[in-house]
Amino acid sequence: MMNNFLVMPMVAPLVTGIILIFLRSNVLLQRILAMISIVLTAGAGVYILNRIQLDGILRLDFGGWMPPYGILFVADSFATLLVLTSTVVTGIVLLYSFASTARAEEKMFYYPFIFFLLAGVNGSFLTGDIFNLFVCFEVMLLSSYALITLGGRKVQLVESIKYISINVLSSWFFLLAIAYLYGTVGTLNMAHLSVRVAEVGQGPLLTVISLIFLIVFSLKAGLLLYFWLPGSYSAPPTAVAALFGALLTKVGIYAMFRVFTLIFYHEPGVTHTLIAIMAILTMVGGSIGALAFQDIRQIVSYNVIISVGFILIGLVVSTDSAFQGAVYYLIHDMISKALLFLLAGTMIYLTGKSKIAEMSGLIRNYPLIGWLFFITMLAIAGIPPLSGFIGKVLIGQGAIEAKAYVLLGVGFISSIFVLYSLLRIFLNSFWGETIISEDEERPLKRGMAIPVLLLGILTVVLGFGPELLAPYVSDAANTLANPDVYIEAVMNGKD
């Protein structure tokens, strides 16, 4: 019965979103309720995470239907860590949007949509049923459709048509894969799927189905099929773009990890090799994109793409330390990408320009933003003792253990491109001659500075104290490396 708590990370944002719809005109009340709800959801995440360490993987069977019948939520350390991180990041982005969002948009259901998005994201992490995963994806996507168009500028409308069309297509592929999978093995529960696939053997037919899943999740995560991403992520307002950059691609990565470690792990020669090739091409393409553009938002969006390729090295080599590294890096990436998008948006807000050549000497006007950008740059490039370091080391260690030297090389060279692309922003925009005089300097709102500072502190804390997370991360990696742990907990675990 205590397991009913598992549904909180999805239901709390959902209920909050519904309540906020009715408080449309009262923006202050909306903000207060939003923050209370985030704190509660994050608290639920912490509680579940600690329960898992005591009692093992938790599950909640909706309506009392025992697995494999019925829909269920399964919370392992991997899913719950991501739930907790996305809730915290959403909270901080909400703080930022208090200062940055126009009053008119706040009244047009901005906060409810953010909460529906969070509900979809958390639901995707927690669900143990592959059709339910599709539904949670759609909850998340529909809210993102509304958020990307909110404001209705011409760029947003045109970009969102592309964004929605590509996502409708990928949802179609998702349904296609689910239909074939159901037709082949006759179940939708992920643990049961794993058992059935192991029983009948992953023949060519099932491998093809797994490749359809790969297409779907690559489209969501921006693995090789990322051509829609830079445009869509640079159209919406800063806070929304930060949320997209931090959360949406990570859900696709999570789904890929789940499906290819739990269900389709029998034919790594086909599936994992393909993922490796896609990851390499993603990192190369992302690096080229990050260097090619002058627009800060584009550069930042391409940085998201590079990190997607890098995290998937962890999935390809599939050793215990690589999984640990991937989990660390996922958490780091959520925080640092939100931070990077917020910093880029703040720079654009302060100067009114978006090209790096049009800004100069900002560090004299806004030292806080300048130094935070510097720290973020080092964190994303993976320089110790900041948060990207531990993930990169562990993924690299896993790649050496698995003798995947090409992946290792491309991964670490891509870090240099990341560093260079961000250094280019830093040198052009923060250094150099100050072109904004003190009179015409636009004041940095405190409401914008505080959330950015909070995220900056988080990356430093995560960098100095990975031991805080170590027990959770090693448990998460253990579940990823041994699918039997997950299956045992779902199929035979006590209620």
Partner 1 sequence: METLITLLVGVLVTIAVYLLLSKNMIRVILGTAILSHAIHLLILTMGGLKKGGVPLIQGESGSYTDALPQALILTAIVISFAVTAFLLVLAYRTYKETGSDNLDALRGVNDE
Minimum distance between the CB of residue 432 and partner 1, rounded to whole angstroms?
Answer: 26
3 state SS of 360: coil
Render the burial of 117-128: b for 16+ CB within 10 Å, e for the rest: bbbbbbbbbbbb
Closest among 221, 362, 349 to 278, alpha carbons compared: 221
* Cα–Cα distance measured from residue 351 to residue 358, given in angstroms and rounded to the nearest whole number: 9
What single string gives the DSSP state of each residue in 9-72? Answer: HHHHHHHHHHHHHHTTT-HHHHHHHHHHHHHHHHHHHHHHHHHHHHH-SEEEEGGGPPTTSS-E
Minimum distance between the CB of residue 235 and partner 1, rounded to whole angstroms?
Answer: 9
Binding site for partner 1 (CB under 8 A): 131, 134-135, 138, 142, 145-146, 149, 152, 154-155, 157-158, 160-161, 164-165, 168-169, 171-172, 175-176, 178-180, 182-183, 188, 231
DSSP state, residue 384:
T
Pick the closer one to partner 1 by CB: 109 or 323.
109
Contact present, 48 and 58 (Cβ < 8 Å) = yes
Pick the closer one to partner 1 by CB: 115 or 389.
115
* Cα–Cα distance measured from residue 119 to residue 104, given in angstroms and rounded to the nearest whole number: 24
* Cα–Cα distance measured from residue 310 to residue 416, given in angstroms and rounded to the nearest whole number: 12
Minimum distance between the CB of residue 141 and partner 1, rounded to whole angstroms?
Answer: 8
Pick the closer one to partner 1 by CB: 139 or 276.
139
Q: Considering all CA atoms of the chain, what is the largest pairwise distance in Å, rounded to the nearest integer?
A: 73
Pick the closer one to partner 1 by CB: 160 or 376.
160
Pick the closer one to partner 1 by CB: 85 or 210.
210
Pick the closer one to partner 1 by CB: 189 or 202.
189
Contact present, 408 and 332 (Cβ < 8 Å) = no
Minimum distance between the CB of residue 150 and partner 1, rounded to whole angstroms?
Answer: 12
- Cα 88–chain centre separation: 12
- Cα 187–chain centre separation: 28
Minimum distance between the CB of residue 184 and partner 1, rounded to whole angstroms?
Answer: 9
* Cα–Cα distance measured from residue 316 to residue 406, given in angstroms and rounded to the nearest whole number: 12
Pick the closer one to partner 1 by CB: 151 or 314.
151
Pick the closer one to partner 1 by CB: 145 or 374.
145
- Cα 392–chain centre separation: 17
Closest among 168, 178, 246, 167 to 210, alpha carbons compared: 178
Minimum distance between the CB of residue 152 and partner 1, rounded to whole angstroms?
Answer: 7
Pick the closer one to partner 1 by CB: 355 or 364.
355
Minimum distance between the CB of residue 305 and partner 1, rounded to whole angstroms?
Answer: 18
